Amino acid sequence: MDFLITESQLQTILLEQNDSKLTSNMKQLYSFTNNMVNKVIKNYDINIKMLLTWGTAVGGLLMPLDNLIKSGNFDLSDKERALVLAGVAFTIFFENKRGLVSIVKKIKEEGLTDVFITVLTKAELLKKSFVRFLSSCRITSGAVLDTVAYSFLIPIITDIHSIATQASNINESSSLIAERLVASGVVILSKEILSVILKKIMKKFK
């Protein structure tokens, strides 16, 4: 027996599949940040739990940099890599916070200053590229922290592009994706704000 489904139902199925993947990615980003924070606390006794406030955004910015360190000629241990990444995160997200002083001091003591500067430079370039991309989507913010708070989108831009090219109704798709991402429990933006951001990004890709 043949079963026919409407285009709307087909789009819903496709979105369900992609939403599941996106939600999983959000949890992975938060888990990455949580593991990094715990390593720094355990090995260097520096309290950086405030990074968990922006857990997914921090993970979105740092995971590409973590891959850069692993694939480069840095030869760092897991705890050293976590320390360098924590320094980068504090510089990008909380540049005036006292915790940054403690991290930079420990980085110097561990002889990791050159690596830190190299990775931080890459992080700044990534941030600038991301901000330019958001601007091209007509997404602007008066505060730098508000802008980098969207960094959790960096690893899933390709997935959003895929959804946008398949979606017949961007308004509906962006709202559904926003709802699922917020429901993951690790994205602190409201559904309304996230839906607007996703809609603008998807319109650029459409």
In a domain, 134, yes or no: yes
pLDDT at res. 31: 95
Mean pLDDT along residues 131-147: 75
* 65, 122 Cβ separation under 8 angstroms: yes
Q: What tokens were used for 146? A: 């508000």
DSSP 20: H
What's the CA gap between 136 and 127, in Å, rounded?
14
Q: Is residue 133 part of a domain?
A: yes
Give the structural domain span for 77. 7-205
pLDDT digits (tens, 9 = 90+) for 1-52: 333 334 454 455 445 555 567 778 888 999 999 999 999 999 999 999 989 9
**163 domain residue, yes or no:** yes
Per cent of the chain over pLDDT 70 is 85
Which amino acid is located at 181 in the chain?
L
User: What total number of domains does the chain contain?
Assistant: 1
Residue 118 included in any domain: yes
Q: 206: which 2 tokens?
A: 């459409």
Cα-only R_g, the chain: 19
Cβ-Cβ contacts under 8 Å for 122 (sequence gap 6 or more)? 65, 68
Select from 189, 157, 135, 115 the least CA-distant residue to 18. 157
For residue 104, being part of any structural domain is answered with: yes
Model confidence over 154-186: pLDDT tens digits? 988 888 888 888 777 888 888 888 888 888 788
What is the Cα–Cα distance from 115 to 199, expressed in whole angstroms? 38
In a domain, residue 1? The reply is no
Which residue, chain included where needed, has tokens 């370039």? 125
Ranked by mean pLDDT, which of 14-18, 138-142, 148-152 comes out on top?
148-152
Number of CB atoms found within 10 A of residue 187's CB: 24
Please give the pLDDT value at position 145: 54
Query: Are residues 91 and 58 in contact, defined by beta-carbon separation less than 8 angstroms?
Result: no
Global pTM reads 0.84
Q: Is residue 2 part of a domain?
A: no
| 42 in a structural domain | yes
